[in-house]
Structures are given as C-alpha cells and as structure tokens.
Amino acid sequence: MELAELGRRVHATAHLTGEFVLRSGHTATEYFDKYRFEADPVLLDEIAAAMVPFVPAGTEVLAGLEMGGIPVVTALGRHTGLPCAFVRKEAKTYGTCRLAEGAETNGRRVTIVEDVVTTGGQIVLSTNELRTLGATVTDALCVINRNATTPEPLTGAGLTLHALLTPEHLQPDN
C-alpha cells in the first residue's frame, strides 16, 4: 500500500480536532489518537508491513515503548521475525524488577519503536536507560512523526529517527 493511502486511512481513523495537552506539555489543536489505529487489527497489520523497510539493517531487537509502542512492536516483530522487548517507563519494583521485558537487550543492537513522536522525550529517556543496561541504541522508528524533521532531543541523544508517516502524509485529501 502506498504511504499516501495509508496516511489517509490513519487520518480517517485516528485524527481528532480540539484542544489537547501532549506528553511534551505542548498544546495542540490536532491529535492522532494512536489507540484508534492500534486497536484496528487490519490497519495495524498494514502499518507494520509498511514499516518493515524502515527497520535499520543490523537491528537485533525491536524495543516497543510502554504503552502505545507495544502493539506496534508486536505487529512489526511478526513481519520482521525480530525478537521484541517491551520497555516500561520505569523498572518494576517487584517480580523481575526489569525495565525491559521479553527479548534480552544487553549487548545487542536495539531499535526503539514508538507510535507517535512530538518531541521524542520518552524515546530519549528510554534510550538512556537501555544504554545504561548495555544495549546499543542508535535508531528509533515511529508510525507518526508530528514534525517535518527529527526533533532536536533525538538528534542530541545521537539517535536517527525513521518515521513511516509525517505531516505531509496525514492529510485527508492526500
């Protein structure tokens, strides 16, 4: 499926207007409710299939960020055959007490998977934690980058962002 058509479908499924406070603290009049496209199994599968070419060569583990990155990374893992890690915002204080569950990330080349990126703040936080735990993280992959370019916090953290969809793809008449 062409990105323009996929962008139209994501827009039709997940685009909301109003006043929304984003995780970054910014206020937006447009919002993409990621759970709407993640809850549609056919659309999520098509998104994951379209993301496969964006997975950087050499990736050993796909790491989905809590909570929206988890369904995306699971679907993407199914298409790539790569193992997945599920990264919490903070390590549990009980049970395994791990930050990342699932595939081992220590000593492996990990690509972060996120649903929607505005500033990339959570990607940077999770990247720093994973690096501390021994992962090599140089890339992040997202379904939607709300920006025309990579947000500075990501480049400042030494990350390359690969986005399936950008604002140019997310127009109703695209």
116 is in an annotated binding site: yes
Contacts of the segment 148-156: beta carbons below 8 A, 24+ positions apart: 150/120, 151/117, 151/118, 151/119, 151/120, 153/119, 153/120, 153/121, 153/124, 154/117, 154/120, 154/123, 154/124, 156/124
User: What per-residue confidence (pLDDT) applies to 1?
Assistant: 61
150 is in an annotated binding site: no
92 is in an annotated binding site: yes
Q: Which residues contact 41 (CB under 8 A, 6 or more apart)?
A: none
Model-level pTM? 0.93
122 is in an annotated binding site: yes
88 is in an annotated binding site: yes
118 is in an annotated binding site: yes
User: What per-residue confidence (pLDDT) applies to 155?
Assistant: 97
174 three-state secondary structure: coil
pLDDT per residue as tens digits for the range 5-45: 999 999 999 999 999 998 778 898 988 999 999 999 999 99
29 is in an annotated binding site: no
Helices (H) and strands (E) in the chain, counts: 6, 8
33 is in an annotated binding site: no
- For residues 68-95, average pLDDT: 94
Report the alpha-carbon angle 7-8-13, nearest 5.
100
- For residues 141-150, average pLDDT: 94
34 is in an annotated binding site: no
Report the alpha-carbon angle 146-69-126, nearest 5.
90
Helices 41-51, 3-14: crossing angle, 10 deg rounding: 140
Domains of the chain in sequence order: 3-168 (3.40.50.2020)
Burial of 97 (0-12, 13-18, 19+ CB in 10 A): exposed
115 is in an annotated binding site: yes
